[in-house]
Amino acid sequence: MAITTDFLVIGSGVAGLTFALEAAEHGEVVIITKRSRDESNTKYAQGGIAAVFAPDDSFEAHVADTLEAGAGLCHDVVVEICAREGPERVRELIARGAQFDHDNGRVSLGREGGHSARRIVHAADATGMEIERALLEQARKSPNIRFAEHHTAIDLIMLSRFGGPDVCAGAYVLDETGAALDPGAPRPPAPRDPERPATRHRPASRPHIVETYLARATVLATGGAGKVYLYTTNPDVATGDGVAMAYRAGAEIANMEFYQFHPTCLFHPEAKSFLVSEALRGEGAILRLPDGTAFMASHDPRKDLAPRDIVARAIDFEMKRTGSDYVLLDITHRPASFVREHFPTIHAQCLRYGIDITSQPIPVVPAAHYMCGGITTDLYGRTTIPGLWAIGECTCTGLHGANRLASNSLLEGLVFGHRAAARLSAQIGDLRKSPFPAVPEWQVGNAVASDEEVVVAHNWDELRRTMWNYVGIVRSDARLRRAARRIALLQEEIRDYYWKHLVTRDLLELRNIATVAELIVGCASARHESRGLHSTIDYPETSDRYGSDTVVKRGVLPYLRGR
């Protein structure tokens, strides 16, 4: 028995929750989330939301800053939409209970690299956590929103349509809880090997349950794919699931070569994926070599407030030049009370590792941070597959171009979550006129429980190291060819393992991240220039010939689409 709903949302970050809250006023919403409902990239966003509130700021300035950061690949109409609709979306967040910092009764505005004015709405240095808290609190109160936590989407359900393109009707979903959202749903017998040891994510005694979710509209809001790289600021959930599923289903994907590396991730042997916000540099923090020399002036006239791609490449260059494992981010010249008040999360986290940022510079390194490419959509979140919508970091809307401007990510999630909900809510009456289709249940076939899940761990580690070593901040044709060969071999191993064994979350995430890696390498190999986040020693200049999006679909090699 399938579980049915009006709107199936896969992902519970700012984009997915914004969509769900607005769509729930017009129909039933089910939100699928791999871990707990609050675990998403949004939760870990420190900086804030870029929006025009200051009297000396303007929409035109926000647009200009975004276009400059995007290095010629932003879609002008999308940038204009996000800049102009952003303030209203922030006001709606405040109305939903989000508590941002204020100064003399007005929203306090920070400044980050690439911005010409103060326009970053923030909640100290834990903005994402506050947004997630407020939206989840509202979702908890909605009678039309149901969460399926610890559920992992496997693949989209695609139906053939005579004389037209295939249609998305929902998704097959792995239930790791052992208790379905719909108590009446049948349970297949649980394969169990008493000799099999418990694994990190799926104990041997847990039943293998794959549920069928049917929806009148399926919305991918799965976030990024930072775990494709060895070092990342992203949480473990960021495995590119939405992009990989959409690609397998035949959707158009674009600009995967543009993966943003955040310049400043805490460098410490015991720290994992801790981001040191760009807002520190916005408040005067200076990047220095280990000997104390400030170096950004030799790389860009904007010094430490240059856009992220420039700063990340500068740090990478200086680390390689000097042989250092890290550089230093120094805000010790600001009053200690100011630092503690404005950056309480960073201050507390660094103290855990013996670093008092009020008196000591912070050792930092670049790390994979944000996926600027993804599933192509129109101005309302529609993908190239009927019935499938996508919002947030898993998309390529055209806002970010070749490099995302700081704090435009939460903005994009808010704006497109709202726009998708508004458009779909207006269509739900017509969509309900058609009955839910009859689709086959998930077929296990001859798959058995694995007794060597170490293969998954080994492939995962090799894949991430390959991407870090060969497809990082600076690339070359030779490095990309090496990566392509290794990823092709890993893909073959993963496919063989996938079809022989029962799916687990670890296996599904490995399968998805391998697909994302393949797409990144393919798109990077097709762009013979350096632009934004794609920097290659073989083509160091920017070329007008490549001033368009890199597009790829299943069965079609990446190509540059004319604008």
- What the block records as the tokens of 294 is 């400030």
Choose the catalytic residue: 37, 202, 308, 527. 308
Where do runs of H (alpha helix) occur along 194-266? 241-249
The amino acid occupying position 276 is V
In angstroms, rounded to a whole number, what is the distance separating the alpha carbons of residues 56 and 118? 9
The order of strands in the sheet holding 286-288 is: 259-266, 362-371, 327-330, 286-288
Order across the sheet with 556-560: list the strands: 395-396, 374-376, 253-254, 550-553, 556-560
Task: Please say whether the beta carbons of 392 and 11 come within 8 A.
Answer: yes
Contacts for 197 with CB less than 8 Å, ≥ 6 apart: 204
CB neighbours of residue 385 within 10 Å:
21
**Read out DSSP for 361-428?**
PEEEEEEEEEE--EEE--TTSB-SSTTEEE-GGGEE-SSSTTSPPTTHHHHHHHHHHHHHHHHHHHHH
Distant-in-sequence, close-in-space partners of 469: CB < 8 Å, separation ≥ 6: 479
The first and second tokens of residue 49, run together, are 């939301």
Residue 110 and residue 341: Cα distance in Å, rounded?
Answer: 13
Spatial contact of 184 and 72, defined as CB atoms under 8 Å apart: no
- Please provide the DSSP assignment of 115-152 as one string: -SS--EE-STT-HHHHHHHHHHHHHHH-TTEEEEETEE
DSSP state of 43: G
Question: What tokens does 328 get?
Answer: 């230093």
120-121 and 145-149 as β-strands: parallel, antiparallel, unpaired? unpaired
Known catalytic residue: 288? no
Q: How many CB atoms lie within 10 A of CB 533?
A: 27
DSSP 500: H
74 backbone φψ class: left, alpha, beta (φ>0; ψ -120 to 50)? beta
- Active-site residue list: 308
